[in-house]
A and B are shown apart, each in its own frame.
Chain A
C-alpha cells in the first residue's frame, strides 16, 4: 500500500513492466462496475492489480465500447475521468492517483474522554505515516487537513490510550474523538507520543495525574511545586509554592486560572498554592518562546485549566489527611449536554487541634472552592461558567506562650475569580473563544493594639487596612488553520483594572494629622495579537513569528508596547530538533514589598506617570532528542535582559495611607542567564525526571550598591531535581524525590561599627518604629560593602512516598498515600538573621552570630482518598 503514495512519475519511468499492459484481455461483458472489471482482469490474466479503495469508487458502473482487447485498454477506459493512472511494475499493475490530483480535506472536532466527555487539551492528532499533524487547543478542538490518500489519523495523549481513526470519516460532520483513559496507575506513565508534535524545551505541559506522582509536603498535591521539578524553575524558600522561573521574581509569572489572571497565588505564606489539585485538569508553563496571545508578565506564563465536569455520569472523590480535607463532585446536569464540577478544599488544623493545642496562639484556616459549569449549545458552540474562591483567615494572639506581641492581628485574604466563556467552531478551520472575566484579590487586616503613652496612659488602636485589586476583562482568541503548514491566530482583549493598594483607617482621633485618602487607580489595559505558524521545507523548519501589542491607559499616562515574538525550530533526524526563540514581554503592574515569602500584603501597584512599565527581552536556544518514546533529553541556554524593573529602597508600610509608595520605588535593570538540562523517562515501570539548572540572576539599580550589579535575591547557582517513581504492580508504587538548590544570597555586613546615636550617648527607646518602649537599643551599625555578598546554606531534602490503590476496577476505589518529607532531617534555612531576631540577650555586650530558622524537619504524611 505504501507504493500507492509514491509519485506517479516514478512508476511511469519503470519500463520493465510495460508488457503486461499490452497483454491480451477481452472482458466477458461490456457493462459492469469498476470492481467487476478489475476482478475479472485478475482472474483471467492472473496479473495482480493494486489499488486503494479510498480514492477509487469501485462500485461505479462503466461501459466498454467492445474494441478493448488489452489489459491497458480496458483499464484506461474504465478509469476514465477518475484521475487514476495505470502503471506497471515488477509484474503488477498499480492504479495510482496522479500527484496533482491529490485532494485535501479538513477534519476537525473535539477530543474527549470517553467516559466523561471531558475535553482533552494537548492531544496529538497526526498521520502515522507522514507524522504530520496538530494538537488540540485549550478547549480540546483540533483542525487538520489530510490528503484523501490518508488512511487514518492517530489521536494520542498522555494518560489516554491512543485512538486510530480510519479516514475518510463516516460523514461530513465534525469528527469528535473519544479517548479512553489509561488505568489510574497508567496515568502516571508519561507517554512520549505526543511529544513528537508539541514538545518544546521551554514549555511544560503537565496533566493533573502527574501532580500526585511524587511525594509532597503534608501530602498536599500542589501543581506549582510539581512544576518546580523541571529545569529553570525554583522556589524562594524550602517547599514554597512561590514559583520562580529563570531568575525572575514570583510577581513576573502570569497565572491564568481558566484564563483569569490571578495576583496572589499562595496560601499560608505561599507554602501551598491556591490551585487545588483535585480541580485542576491541565497545567502549562511557558518559560520562553511565548505565544503572542500571552502578555503582561516578564518571566513565564502558567496557564491552568480546571476540569469541565463529567458529561456522562456522576463521579466524585473525597480526601482526608491529618491537616486537610477535600472533595470533588462532577457529573451531568443533562447527559451529554451540560455538566458541573465542584471541588472544595479546607484545612482542618483549627478544627482538629485548635481547642487542644493552638488556641493560645490564635487560629488559622484556609479553603478553596472551584466550580465549573460546562454547557454544550450544539456541536459547534459551548459555554463555560467557572468560579473560584480561595480564602485564608488568620488570627494571631498577642499573648501566646512563645513570644509576647504587642497586638492582636487578623489577616483575611481572598481571591475570587469568575469567567464566562463561549467557544465556537466557526468552520472546520476556524475556532474562536470569547471570554468575560472578573478577578478580585482582597486582603483585610485588622489590628488591636495598646500603645503605652505613659505608665498610666495608653492608646487603644483598632485599625483596619484593606488592599484590593479588581479586574474586569473581555477577551477574544481566534485560531485559523489555513493549512497544515500554516496556522494563524489573532485576538484582542480589554481589561479594566481597579487597584486600591492601601487603604487604612483606625479609631484614633487624627488630631492635626492630615486625613489622606487611600489612593485608587483606575486603568484600562488593551491588548491585541497576531501570530503566524509556518511549517516549511517539508515540515523540517517551523517558523512562528508573532506580535503582541499591549497598552496601559490612565488619566495621566499612556504606555503602549509592541512586543515581537519569534520561534524557529529545525527538525533533525532521529527525533531531534534545535529551537531558537526571542520574545519581548512587558509588565504594566509591579509588586512591591518583600516577596521572598508570599505574603498577602505584597503590594501590587500599576505603572504610573512616574513608574514606567517593565520590559524583558528573552533569548533562548535549545536542543531536544527523544529515544523510542521513552526517554527525552533537552538542553537549553537562555539570556534575559530586564529593563525598568522596580524595587523599593526601603520597607513599605502598606497600611498607612501616608506612605506614598511612588516615592520609594526605584527602577533598574536585570540580567538573567543560564542553562538547563532535562532528562526524563516517560514510560515503563520506572519513570522519572532529572533536571539541572545552572543560572545567574543579577540586578542593577543606580541608587543601590553604588550602582554596581549585585546578585538578585532569587539567584541560585545550581538547582537539581531528581524524582523517580517505580510501579511494582497496579496496586503499589513507590516514589522518591530529591531537590537541591544553592544557598540564597544574603547581605552580611563586612564590619560593624558604633551606632551614630549610641556614640553620642543618645538613647532611642521612645522610637515606635520597631517596638514601643523598647528598652533595648542596638549599639552598632552594619558596614555593607556589597549587597547579597554571602550565601545561605543550600536547601535540599529527600522525600519518600508510597501509594496503595485498592479496587481499581471497581465502582468504589481507595487510594492511600503515605510518605516522609525530608527524611534525613535536614535543617534548611527558612529565615536567617544576623544578630538576634527577637531580643533574648539584653546585655550591653553580647556575641553576634547567624541565627537560622528552619520550618520543616522530618515530617510524615498520610492521606486517604475515596473515589467513586
Chain B
C-alpha cells in the first residue's frame, strides 16, 4: 500500500502558494558528542561504529567526520576489560569501524566504553539474548496489496520465563563479480586490467577464474506484516512497509508470515533497481534497549521531516554520555541467492 500521509499533498499545496525564506539556525552552545552504534551479535566478533555528532547551529552541514582515534573497550558486565577493539581502515565506511577478535556469547551482558579525546566518554551495556529456536516452515512468492512479495512462514519458539524482542528484517548485499588471471606469475583483476586480459586470455597460464566479492554496501528491502500482534501496530498501519517487523514475545510460540518486497530480490541489468547481490533475511532476538530504539527509529523514518506541523519523535538511546545505541542480538540469518553471481 502506498503510504498515504494525507499531510503531504496538503503541504505541497502550501508550497505551491507560499513564499520561502531561509532563516539562520540559532546559536547553540552544545558540544559535539560521541555517537556509538553497535549490534553485539552472539557467536560473532564485536564491531562498533564510532562517530561524532554536530551541534545544530549556524553554518552546520550534513557532513560527518570519521573518528579514527577512539579507544573502544569491550568489557564484561562487571566492567572487566575483555579486549580493545581496533580501528578498521576502510574508505567505504560512512562511520569509523572498530572491530574485536573474541567471539561474543549468547545470554551474556557486555559493556562498551568509547573514549575519544576531547569528547565525553560513552558507556553502554547490552545483553545478548539467549539462543532461541526459529523455524522457517515455507516460503512463497505472492502478492500483497498489488505488490510482488516473498512470504516467509516463521515459527519462533518461546523461551520459558523470558520476554523476547524479535526483529525481522531483510537486506540485499551488493556483490562484485570479477575475473582474475595470471600473467608472468602475478594475478590481476580483469576489471582493472581489461586490456591486458584481452591480450593474454588465450595464452597458456592465464588461468582465468571468476570470483564474487560481497561488498560493504546494502540495500534495505522493505518488509511487511499482516499480523496485528506486531508492534508495528504502534507505529503505523499494517499495509505500510517497514524497515523491520517487530514482535514482543512472552511465553507463547509465534507463528507469523513475514513478507519482503520481491522487487529487489533479483537485479535486472536493464533496470538496476536493486544491485546484484544476495538477500539476507534476519530473524533476531534483541535486547530491550535495542528494540525500543528500533521502534522509535521506525517512527522517525515514517515522519516526513522535522517541521512545525508534525510532532517530532525522540529516539531512544542507551549510550550514556553520547548518542546512538548498543544492542545485543542473537540472530538467525537466511541467505537467498536470486542473482547469478
CA distance A511 to B147 in the complex (A): 8
Q: Are A833 and B5 in contact (CB under 8 A)?
A: no
Known: A748-B26, A754-B51, A847-B61. A704 touches B314 (CB 8 A): yes
Q: Is A772 an interface residue (CB 8 A)?
A: yes
Known: A779-B62, A834-B306, A835-B306. A750 touches B55 (CB 8 A): yes
What is the CB-to-nearest-CB distance from A271 to chain B, in angstroms, rounded to a whole number?
A: 11
Interface centre among A361, A454, A767 (most CB of B within 10 A): A767
Q: Are A769 and B37 in contact (CB under 8 A)?
A: no
Q: Which of A761, A832, A837, A847 contacts B59 (CB 8 A)?
A: A847
Q: Is A762 an interface residue (CB 8 A)?
A: yes
Q: Are A754 and B28 in contact (CB under 8 A)?
A: no
Residues of A within 8 A of B291 (CB): none
Q: Which of B7, B226, B237, B268 contacts A512 (CB 8 A)?
A: B226
Q: Are A787 and B312 in contact (CB under 8 A)?
A: yes
Q: Are A751 and B55 in contact (CB under 8 A)?
A: yes
What is the CB-to-nearest-CB distance from A358 to chain B, in angstroms, rounded to a whole number?
A: 10
CA distance A760 to B219 in the complex (A): 10
Q: Is B151 an interface residue (CB 8 A)?
A: yes
Q: Is A829 an interface residue (CB 8 A)?
A: yes
Q: Are A753 and B3 in contact (CB under 8 A)?
A: no
Residues of A within 8 A of B238 (CB): 514, 516, 658-659
Q: Is A29 an interface residue (CB 8 A)?
A: no
Q: Are A651 and B303 in contact (CB under 8 A)?
A: yes
Q: Is A744 an interface residue (CB 8 A)?
A: yes
Chain B proximity mask over A489-528: 1 for CB below 8 Å, otherwise 0: 0000000000000001000111111101000000000000
Name the CB-closest residue of B to A394. Answer: B13
Q: Is A10 an interface residue (CB 8 A)?
A: no
Known: A754-B94, A766-B264. A853 touches B20 (CB 8 A): yes
Q: Are A760 and B9 in contact (CB under 8 A)?
A: no
Comparing A112-120, A384-392, A595-603, A621-629, the segment that makes contact with chain B is: A595-603
Q: Are A845 and B144 in contact (CB under 8 A)?
A: no
Chain B proximity mask over A441-454: 1 for CB below 8 Å, otherwise 0: 00001010101011
Name the CB-closest residue of B to A743. Answer: B308
Q: Are B10 and A597 in contact (CB under 8 A)?
A: yes
Q: Is A558 an interface residue (CB 8 A)?
A: no
Q: Is B302 an interface residue (CB 8 A)?
A: yes
Known: A650-B302, A766-B263, A831-B308. A752 touches B240 (CB 8 A): no
Q: Is A336 an interface residue (CB 8 A)?
A: no
Q: Is A354 an interface residue (CB 8 A)?
A: no
Q: Is B198 an interface residue (CB 8 A)?
A: no
CA distance A835 to B314 in the complex (A): 17
What is the CB-to-nearest-CB distance from A668 to chain B, in angstroms, rounded to a whole number?
A: 13
Q: Is B63 an interface residue (CB 8 A)?
A: yes
Chain A proximity mask over B1-40: 1 for CB below 8 Å, otherwise 0: 1111111011111111111111111101010110101000
Q: Are A783 and B323 in contact (CB under 8 A)?
A: yes
Comparing B105-113, B129-137, B155-163, B293-301, the segment that makes contact with chain A is: B293-301
Q: Is B190 an interface residue (CB 8 A)?
A: no
Q: Is B311 an interface residue (CB 8 A)?
A: yes
Residues of B within 8 A of A5 (CB): none
Q: Are A853 and B14 in contact (CB under 8 A)?
A: yes
Q: Is A647 an interface residue (CB 8 A)?
A: yes
CA distance A768 to B93 in the complex (A): 26
Q: Is A805 an interface residue (CB 8 A)?
A: no
Comparing B73-81, B176-184, B227-235, B332-340, the segment that makes contact with chain A is: B227-235
Q: Which of A447, A749, A762 contacts B171 (CB 8 A)?
A: A762
Chain B proximity mask over A428-469: 1 for CB below 8 Å, otherwise 0: 000000000000000001010101011110010101010000
Residues of B within 8 A of A445 (CB): 6
Q: Is B288 an interface residue (CB 8 A)?
A: no
Q: Which of A508, A599, A852 contacts B20 (CB 8 A)?
A: A852
Name the CB-closest residue of A to B148. Answer: A453
Known: A658-B239, A659-B237, A753-B35. A761 touches B94 (CB 8 A): yes
Residues of A within 8 A of B145 (CB): 508, 510-511, 513
What is the CB-to-nearest-CB distance from A475 to chain B, in angstroms, rounded to a whole number?
A: 34
Q: Is B271 an interface residue (CB 8 A)?
A: yes
CA distance A659 to B309 in the complex (A): 20
Chain B proximity mask over A737-767: 1 for CB below 8 Å, otherwise 0: 0000000101111111110111111111111
Q: Is A656 an interface residue (CB 8 A)?
A: yes
Q: Are B33 and A753 in contact (CB under 8 A)?
A: yes
Category for how many chain B residues contact A: 35 or more
Q: Are B239 and A761 in contact (CB under 8 A)?
A: no
Name the CB-closest residue of A to B22. Answer: A849
Q: Which of A511, A751, A756, A855 contacts B146 (CB 8 A)?
A: A511
Residues of A within 8 A of B23 (CB): 793, 832, 849-852
Q: Which of A601, A650, A705, A849 contacts B299 (CB 8 A)?
A: A650
Q: Are A751 and B33 in contact (CB under 8 A)?
A: yes
Q: Count chain A residues whose beta carbon lies closer than 8 angstroms to a beta carbon of B.
A: 117
Known: A453-B147, A512-B144. A762 touches B15 (CB 8 A): no
Residues of B within 8 A of A656 (CB): 1, 4, 236-237, 239-240
Residues of B within 8 A of A781 (CB): 297, 300, 315
- Chain A interface, DSSP helix/strand/loop, else mixed: loop
CA distance A664 to B299 in the complex (A): 11
Name the CB-closest residue of A to B18. Answer: A853
Q: Are B3 and A770 in contact (CB under 8 A)?
A: yes
Residues of A within 8 A of B60 (CB): 752, 847-848
Q: Are B239 and A751 in contact (CB under 8 A)?
A: no
Residues of B within 8 A of A861 (CB): none
CA distance A445 to B10 in the complex (A): 12
Q: Is B205 an interface residue (CB 8 A)?
A: no
Residues of A within 8 A of B299 (CB): 649-650
What is the CB-to-nearest-CB distance from B256 to chain A, in angstroms, rounded to a whole number?
A: 12
CA distance A454 to B315 in the complex (A): 33
CA distance A594 to B308 in the complex (A): 10
Q: Are B273 and A853 in contact (CB under 8 A)?
A: no
CA distance A750 to B306 in the complex (A): 13
Residues of B within 8 A of A852 (CB): 20-23
CA distance A766 to B64 in the complex (A): 24
Chain B proximity mask over A843-868: 1 for CB below 8 Å, otherwise 0: 01111111111110100000000000
Comparing A20-28, A400-408, A414-422, A634-642, the segment that makes contact with chain B is: A400-408
Q: Are B56 and A848 in contact (CB under 8 A)?
A: yes
Q: Is B331 an interface residue (CB 8 A)?
A: no
Q: Are A511 and B25 in contact (CB under 8 A)?
A: no
CA distance A504 to B63 in the complex (A): 42
Q: Which of A511, A746, A764 contacts B144 (CB 8 A)?
A: A511
Interface centre among A361, A655, A656, A772 (most CB of B within 10 A): A656
12 additional contacts, CB 8 Å, given A454-B268, A848-B25? A453-B263, A461-B2, A651-B311, A655-B4, A656-B4, A754-B35, A756-B297, A756-B325, A768-B240, A781-B315, A829-B308, A835-B306
Pairs A-B, 9 closest by C-beta atoms? A511-B143, A659-B237, A656-B237, A747-B312, A658-B238, A508-B146, A845-B63, A753-B53, A853-B18
- Which residues of A does B touch, CB under 8 Å? 269, 361, 394, 396, 400, 402-403, 405, 407, 409, 445, 447, 449, 451, 453-456, 459, 461, 463, 465, 504, 508-514, 516, 593-594, 596-597, 599, 601, 647-651, 653-660, 663-664, 704-706, 713, 744, 746-754, 756-770, 772-773, 778-784, 787, 790, 792-793, 827, 829-835, 837-838, 844-855, 857
- List 20 A-B residue pairs with CB atoms under 8 Å apart, sorted by A's residue number: A361-B16, A405-B9, A459-B146, A514-B238, A599-B10, A601-B6, A650-B299, A656-B4, A656-B239, A750-B28, A753-B33, A756-B324, A760-B49, A760-B94, A780-B64, A783-B323, A830-B18, A844-B62, A846-B62, A857-B19
